[in-house]
Amino acid sequence: MHDIRFIRENPAAFDAALSRRGASPMSSEVLALDEARRALIHAAETATAEQNKASKEVGAAKGRGDEEEFQRLRALVAEKKAEIAAMNEEAKQKDVELTNLLLTIPNMLYDDVPEGASEDDNVEIGQWGTPRTFDFKPVEHFELASVQGGMDFEAGAKLSGSRFVVLKGGVARIHRALAQFMLDFHVDNHGLTEAITPVMVLEDMMYGTGQLPKFGEDSYQTTNGWWLIPTAEVTLTNLVNGDVVDESALPMRYAAHTQCFRSEAGSAGRDTSGMLRQHQFEKVEMVSIVHPDESEAEHARMTRQAEAILEALNLPYRTMKLCAGDMGAGMKRTHDLEVWLPGQDKYREISSVSTAGDYQARRMNARFKPTEGGKPQFVHTLNGSGLAVGRTLIAVLENGQNADGSVTLPDALHPYLGGKTTLTADGTLA
């Protein structure tokens, strides 16, 4: 959410920032509501002063026996009381309207975010690894002989409909091993605190990280009001919802492995083959809650944390800085990691690492108490995939595939697979 004081003092800059995202100017609408709210508050304060003055004079009129003045002042006090109540109620409604409007406005981008309208305008800022040269035509993950029995889309569809899958046998174990490896790597090498969080949250938590009110169609809600998380960003970031933490507690760095749920609204017809885009999937999510002065360095740090997982698995990737038109609404800057998929002969997104500045913190009222004293300040929040487990499984299968349909597995996974190094053509681990 935005700082209303900034909009009051910089309306042109605010509108210019929105225009970078292709959004319409909003300062006039915001400031009109703000002015109406402030005018009502001022009028209520003036009426309260008049009420207080009249209340004092009531006793004086009674004391000197001026019954007419006494009755007039009593009526005035009652009238002012009713006026004040009505104005306070109207001011409260304007405040709700203003808050609801601010909740729908996207974050302001950092100056270094590239201009552009779509993913075609994203800018490559790094690349690692050389895509493997095959002496046969590589296939997509779901076409591999070793995967045929272990990635059952028919069973998933029978149980739950389209965009669900049942993993079995060796494929299921590799998937589990990947999640374990990622968590251990982040805890042991990056100093993240492992957390196990709920996958169902209260509506306020979805507002806190920006999934609501505008993007509810992208998530699932239960009949009794809980929301299924689209990512552990929601739970981990909201750990400080409504809190004032000591500055000495910062930074807070977390990692969690969870089931995630997305309706994939707006993606009909995209990536319908294989398990690249599912309604239910698993991710290891990273979240950092930091002092504003450390926000920039933390974004670079988190990007490296996600990149390190891919490098440990020997998976070629490139790092992209997203352009203004391809950015998530709540973020100030995003780096996407795209892993090489030889079956598709292209790079595909496997992680997004983003910084929100104080945008989420304002929505959550999450602050820290400065060590040197002074008023509490808003924290900065960052999040990133470290990594999407299913997409990493796809990358491992496709990059390690052999001509006979077997898969040679990354060295980093061997300890998590009981020393097994290969997914054989018949789908077993050896």
Helix segments in 195-338, DSSP class H? 203-209, 233-237, 295-312
Stretches where the chain sits below pLDDT 70 are: 58-59, 61-63, 65-67, 265-271
pLDDT for the residue numbered 331: 98
Tokens of 426: 């018949």
Rounded Cα distance between 345 and 341, Å, is: 6
Question: 71: helix, coil or strand?
Answer: helix
DSSP state of 425: T
pLDDT for the residue numbered 302: 98
Residue 298, amino acid: E
Question: How many helices and strands, by DSSP H and E, does the chain display?
Answer: 11, 18
Which residues make up each annotated binding site for ATP? 262-264, 349-352
β-pairing, 280-290 with 346-357? Answer: unpaired
pLDDT for the residue numbered 282: 98
DSSP state of 383: E
Tokens of 183: 């968590």
pLDDT for the residue numbered 270: 66
Please answer whether residues 332 and 359 qualify as being in contact, where contact means their C-beta atoms are separated by less than 8 angstroms: yes
By annotation, the residues acting in catalysis are: 262, 277, 349, 352, 391
pLDDT for the residue numbered 21: 94
pTM for this predicted structure: 0.92
DSSP state of 240: G
Rounded Cα distance between 307 and 318, Å, is: 9
Which H or E run contains 69?
Answer: helix 67-104
pLDDT for the residue numbered 54: 77
Tell me the chain's radius of gyration from C-alpha atoms.
Answer: 28
Burial tier of 314 (Cβ tally within 10 Å: 0-12, 13-18, 19+): middle
pLDDT for the residue numbered 66: 65
Which residues make up each annotated binding site? 231-233, 262-264, 285, 349-352, 383, 385
DSSP state of 239: G
CA distances, 178 to each of 61, 182, 397 (Å): 83, 6, 12
Whether omega for the bond prior to residue 251 falls within 30 degrees of 0, making it cis, is yes
pLDDT for the residue numbered 73: 73
Which residues make up each annotated binding site for L-serine? 231-233, 262, 285, 383, 385
CA distances, 196 to each of 136, 200, 257, 284 (Å): 43, 12, 7, 11
Rounded Cα distance between 125 and 323, Å, is: 12
pLDDT for the residue numbered 237: 98
Strand spans (E) along 217-275: 220-221, 227-228, 244-246, 252-261
pLDDT for the residue numbered 55: 75
Rounded Cα distance between 409 and 420, Å, is: 8
Other beta carbons within 10 angstroms of residue 373's beta carbon come to 6
Domains and their CATH numbers in the chain: 4-104 (1.10.287.40), 119-423 (3.30.930.10)
